[in-house]
Structure formats: structure tokens, C-alpha cells
Amino acid sequence: MGALLKNEWIKLWNKKQTWFFLGAIVIIMIGLTFIYQSFIADSTNQGEGEWTIELETEISEQEEILESGTDEEWMEAQAEQTIQENEELLEAGINPNEMNNMIFMNETVLSVASFITLFTVIVASSIVSSEIDNGTMKHLLIRPYERWQVLLSKFITVVAFSIVMMVTLILTNILMGTIFFGTGSYSSQVMEMSFHGGPLYTTVANIFPAKIGLYFLNMLMFVIISFSLSILFKSQTLAVGISIFILFSTSVLQGFSLLLADTAWYKFIFLPHLDLPAYAVVDEIMPGVGIGFSLTILAIYAIAFIGASGIYFQKKDLM
């Protein structure tokens, strides 16, 4: 088994595509840092206490809007929300404009990590189908290994590749954040917003590990789906295309979760549950749907995907 893993790892890194993906993560992170720095440079240079004055001024402005008796309901709702958020920030002592390498990491890592998911999906959906497509799979199967060992070695290789990219991203992020924003404390206070709920006031130490852990589980499910499709479809192009379609359609469907949350069937399909990082901020992503339910649904589908593709690969004539 060790020889299979070594062989798959060497084959993966012998491809130019692998190095391109790794380099792209670094370049995207560096580019995002420059963009981030250019947009927030002015606000992060505030003197001590200026941010409190800014929040208090904004509260006064929004109160004037409410006192003016505007007929626009959306303006009233927005003013009330702004007042509430600013008052909570003042009470918690959180400077919304503060920036250091730890806050920068917490705010930006998952944005770039979406590219890791995309690149991992491409690798996972081609690692089997490409060898079936070009006929090299039979050279693996004539060796004294079971078919399930061949699949397991490829799956572990994909997961290991995703971990390498994630570690590379975090290290690049910390380096760029330190250079541009200085060293900060891992216990820096932050405000987290969620599509599923209101703001959460916490620290980087409390929120970041949960976000990364849940994101990795999310990505692992995409790997399982893509890897299974790679087995089920002989065409590499078809396997990659369907996997990428599922990846992007999942993002689109998250916007419809509130509309479909009350339907009896929606919470039993796996797509709305592929938003696990949201649980770092909220307890439920839909009424009555918590992290335990989401993980159970994803586990059931993962077993189904792995079981179906594994059985198919065992019986498929590839010689």
C-alpha cells in the first residue's frame, strides 16, 4: 500500500497542472493582499479612539434618519440595524477597522480557499477517469494489489494534496499579513457576519479553527463526489465538467435556502448542507437543521457515493 501511495504522489507532482494550482493559490493570495491593503489603508491608520468617534457619529446620523420620519421602510430598517451593530461594537470594544495578520487571516483565508476546492475537485475528478481514458489503469491493476487499494491510494493522494494547498495558503496569508498589517494577537477580537443569522462577536482563536475545520469537511465532501464521478465516467472531460457544475450549483442554491427551507424534502438532499463553515457562526442553517443533522445527511450521501462507485469499479472490465 505504501508503494501505491508513493507512486500516486510522484505521478501527481510530475504533472505541470499540480504546480500550476499550487502557484495559483500563492499568487491569488498575494494579489488579494495588495487589493485589501489599498482599500483599507486609510481606515487602519486611525488614531487611538477615533474609531469610537466614527461609530458614535454614524449612530447619530442614523438616529436623525429615524427621527425625520422617512416613509421608506427599508431605510428605517437599515438605520436600526446600523445603530444596533455599532452599539454592540462599542459595548464589546471591537474596532471594526483594526487590522493585523491574525484578523487578516480570519477574514480572507476562506475566500481564497474556494479556489483550493475548485482545484481539488479538478484533481479528484480526473485522477481515475484520466487513467481509464488513456488506458494506463490496466498497468496498475496487473500489480499484486486489490482494486480497492488502488482507489484508496488515489483518494488519499487527493486529500493530501488539498492539505498541502491549505497549509501553503495559510502560511502565505500569515506572511503577507505580517508584512502589510503587522503582527497581531491570536486572541484579537472580531465580528463575524453570516447569511443565516446576525453578527457574532468573538476572537480569532475561537472562530478560525472552527471555520477551517468545517471548511475542510465541506471540501472533503466535494472530493468524495468528484472522486466517485471520476470512477463512474470513463470520460475525463465529462467527470470534471459534472463535478465543477455541482460545485458552482451548490453556491447558487445557498441563496435559495431561505425560500426552500420550509419544504419537507429540501433538507434531505445534500446540496444545502454543503455550507458547513456557517456553523462556526450560527447553530442552524435552516429551521430545525443543526450541524449534527447536516453531518449525518452528508455522511449518508458520502457512503452512497463511495459504495456505488466502489462496487462499479470492482466489476468494471478495465483490462
Question: Domain residue spans in the chain?
Answer: 2-30+97-315, 47-96
Lowest mean pLDDT among 153-157, 270-274, 302-306, 313-317: 313-317
Q: Which of 11-25, 33-47, 179-193, 227-241 has the highest mean pLDDT?
A: 11-25
Rounded CA-CA distance 108/114 in Å is 11
The contacts found for 174-179 with CB under 8 angstroms, 24 or more apart, are 174/101, 174/105, 176/29, 176/30, 176/33, 176/104, 177/33, 177/100, 177/101, 177/102, 177/104, 177/105, 178/101
pLDDT of 44 reads 55
Confidence of residue 195 (pLDDT cuts 50, 70, 90): low
Rounded CA-CA distance 207/188 in Å is 11
Q: Which residues contact 59 (CB under 8 A, 6 or more apart)?
A: 82, 83, 86, 87
Specify the DSSP class assigned to residue 315.
H
pLDDT(130) > 60: yes
Other CB atoms within a 10 A radius of the CB of residue 19 amount to: 11
Q: Which of 67-71, 192-196, 208-212, 312-316 has the highest mean pLDDT?
A: 208-212
